[in-house]
Amino acid sequence: MCHLLLALPLLALPLFWIFPLSVALPSYSAVAALSAVIYWYAIRAMKQPIRNGAVGMVGEIGEVLEANGEDLRVRIHNELWHAVSTGAPLCKGDDLEVVGVEQLTLQVQKLDLDARYFGGSSG
């Protein structure tokens, strides 16, 4: 079905063989305008950032629930994940940011609110 919508301008070409030009041209123009709107929405949808899967987790903010050295249990979007810290050691209750994903393990670092919201590094 989707591919038929993308091919509408080609499917409407027989209008010129069936109807006189005074009828076919406005009809084909309407089909072309409809196709342009569909193409615009399709291109806009393809340019949106990824929101699911492993790549969609990067940049998300969560909280440490359990910390056993470098082995962490974290909550992100009310889901529990296994994570490892890539920076400073994290403690229970710390806010964190996902910086990478390797298989089903998140790579996280402590969330620096000053750098995130004010554009500089704290310290």
Inter-residue contact 108 to 97 (CB < 8 Å): yes
Total tally of structural domains belonging to the chain: 2
**What is the domain range of residue 101?**
53-118
* 3-class state of residue 105 by DSSP: strand
Residue 69 pLDDT greater than 90, yes or no: no
Same domain, 81 and 110: yes
What is the DSSP code string of 9-78? HHHTTTHHHHS-HHHHHHHHHHHHHHHHHHHHHHHHHHTSPP-SHHHHHTT-EEEEEEEETTEEEEEETT
Alpha-carbon gap, residue 40 to 43, rounded angstroms: 5
Least confident of 1-5, 6-10, 33-37, 57-61: 1-5
Q: What is the pLDDT of residue 82?
A: 93
| pLDDT band per the 50, 70, 90 thresholds, residue 71 | confident
Instruction: Give the model's pLDDT for residue 119.
Output: 55
Predicted confidence at residue 1, as pLDDT, reads 60
Query: Residues 105, 79: one domain?
Result: yes
- Please indicate, yes or no, whether residues 39 and 73 belong to a single structural domain of this protein: no
d(CA 83, CA 32): 51
Output the average pLDDT for the chain: 86
Q: Are residues 24 and 74 in the same domain?
A: no
Do residue 64 and residue 101 come from a single domain? yes
Among the ranges given (15-19, 32-36, 52-56), the one the predictor scored with the smallest mean pLDDT: 52-56
pLDDT at 110 exceeding the cut of 80: yes
- Do residues 61 and 112 both lie within one domain? yes
Residue 59 to residue 49: CA distance in whole angstroms: 12
